Amino acid sequence: MATIDRARLSALLDGERRLHAKRHPASLALYEAGTHLVGQVPMTWMNKWSGGFPLYLEGGHGNRIRVVDGYELIDFALGDTGAMTGHSPQPTVAAINRRAGELGGITTMLPSEDAEWVAAELSARFGMDRWSFTLSATDANRWALRLARLITKRPKVLVFSYCYHGSVDETFVVVGPEGTAQSRPGNVAPAVDPTLTTRVVEFNDAAALERELSHGDVAAVLMEPALTNIGIVLPEPGFLENVRQLCTASGSLLMIDETHTISMGWGGATTAWDLAPDLFSIGKALGGGIPCGAYGMTNELAVRLDAALADGADIIDVGGVGGTLAGNALSTAAMRATLGEVLTPAAFEHMLALCDRFVAGVESVLVQYEVPWSVVQLGARAEYRFCSPAPTSGGAAAAAIDDQLDEYLHLYLSNRGVLITPFHNMALMCPDTTEADVDVHTELFGAAVGALVG
């Protein structure tokens, strides 16, 4: 098995950083001019891009992005799923133009007829009966968790270690070295210690889940069907069935967040793996890039919600659930076009087949160079991780983080025209991605690994 020579990695990384600066003087100049912005960028996560400064966008269509330095890149990052439709998909753009320009009325606090169409479509895909809209997956999770506590009259939420569900206070908790819950490293000034609001266990640990649910104080288990924000951690056979059974037995609601796992197909992992959540949340790709999100619930839960609301909780005004721009006419028009005409069954068929090819390409490189890494696929989404076999828990996946390797691979690819997500090593296929694009990645990935260990 090949081992990574750290001195060689450092030297290669220095070379890629120099190349990044040399190739992108216009991006660097814009970054240096950003003196009125926190961290010099419009949103601080944009500093996660490798190389010391991000590339600046000129434009993008389909799976291609043009940056201000004059290059076009093949985009496998796709806005970390926000642009899983490809950039500016034509049906979504037409619907946006019609609503914003022709009809007018971007946000009015009045419902528009698109909302019921979108809700019915979400029901067909994910099986929930009632839906409400938000502007992000974060808000969908926040508001649905409030409702879960209201309905169950229980105070806590349970999450899996190293999950990510948006900037939701209750979710920033991990299993610490002693096996007990602790605030996640880096958690920014929490108002309340999250170990007071949240129980946490490792993914795929049904025994720990049973133990923590037995306290009878968990309103909802909030989970992705596979972890996607610490690499991809797949559920082991039987685990998701166990989770469902344990939730039912303990009276906790099962809340599934499919913001990323919609990559599994037209009906996400819920349909692909025959899951039966009580509550459901999603965001990002729904509107083809226009901000929107949604949470859904079963009829049974909607009945319980109505009963719980009789006690005076206020979801119509300032009770803590809702937002002024949520469900606006522009977002709902974008969702209708995106779900109806872009993220279709045919599109998923294309994307899943391409991802098979992507994974086969990465695997062939790992075998060729005998590198002890792994690659995991989740439908149209794949990710490589610097350990083998692939981790089965968030804690194990976190232990395999290697920032230097991440940066080297990201820069090697972007310096040669390919983008993967700035967070770890995720690549996503969109309806516009082609076999040739996938093969470009395979070739570059092979060259990057070859330079490192060849």
Ligand X SMILES: Cc1ncc(COP(=O)(O)O)c(C=O)c1O
Binding site for ligand X (CB under 6 A): 136-138, 164-166, 224, 229, 257, 259-260, 283-284
Q: How far is the CB of 166 from ligand X (least distance, A)?
A: 3
Rounded to the nearest 5°, which phi and psi values hold at 357? -65, -40
Q: How far is the CB of 39 from ligand X (least distance, A)?
A: 17
Give, in order, the Cα–Cα distances in Å from 226 to each of 204, 230, 263.
10, 10, 11
Tell me the residue number closest to ligand X, measured at CB: 166
- For ligand X, give the closer residue by CB, 86 or 446: 86
User: In this structure, what token pair is assigned to residue 360?
Assistant: 């086969």
Non-local (6+) Cβ contacts of 180 within 8 A are none
Q: How far is the CB of 160 from ligand X (least distance, A)?
A: 11
- For ligand X, give the closer residue by CB, 284 or 350: 284
Q: How far is the CB of 135 from ligand X (least distance, A)?
A: 8
- For ligand X, give the closer residue by CB, 278 or 437: 278
- For ligand X, give the closer residue by CB, 293 or 391: 293
Q: How far is the CB of 2 from ligand X (least distance, A)?
A: 32
What is the secondary structure of 310-376 as a DSSP string? TTT--TTTTSSS--TTTT-HHHHHHHHHIIIIIS-HHHHHHHHHHHHHHHHHHHHHHHHHT---EEE
- For ligand X, give the closer residue by CB, 257 or 406: 257
Local structure of residue 123 (DSSP, 8 states): H
Q: How far is the CB of 46 from ligand X (least distance, A)?
A: 13
User: Which residues are paired to 59 by β-bridges?
Assistant: 66
- For ligand X, give the closer residue by CB, 224 or 437: 224
User: In this structure, what token pair is assigned to residue 234?
Assistant: 């797949």
Q: How far is the CB of 284 from ligand X (least distance, A)?
A: 5
Query: At 148, which amino acid appears?
Result: A
What is the C-alpha to C-alpha distance for residues 315 and 389, in angstroms, rounded to an integer? 47
Q: Which of 278, 45, 287 is nearest to 167 (CA)?
A: 45
- For ligand X, give the closer residue by CB, 142 or 154: 142
Quote the radius of gyration of the chain (alpha carbons, Å).
22
